[in-house]
Amino acid sequence: MLLMRFLLGLGVISILVGIGVYFLSGDRRWLRFSWQLFKFGVVLGLIVAAVYMVGRFIL
């Protein structure tokens, strides 16, 4: 669980840095990068939650 919190924090920081770089440079690639990180994080979070729920039902 500690690893998941660390990765979540790292993901949020990465998204915020990407948005910040977008505002500083005006290059839309950074905004697209942040959006892709967000989508990947949501999908990964849903997969981890599903695996956790299946594990709770089995045990």
Q: Where are the domains of the chain?
A: 2-58
Instruction: Write out pLDDT tens, residues 31-48.
Output: 999 999 999 999 999 999
In this prediction, what percent of the chain has a pLDDT beyond 70?
A: 100
User: What is the spatial distance between Cα 27 and Cα 17, in angstroms, rounded to a whole number?
Assistant: 13
Q: What predicted TM-score, i.e. pTM, was given to this entire model?
A: 0.83
Phi-psi region of 27 (alpha: psi -120 to 50; beta: other; left: phi over 0): beta
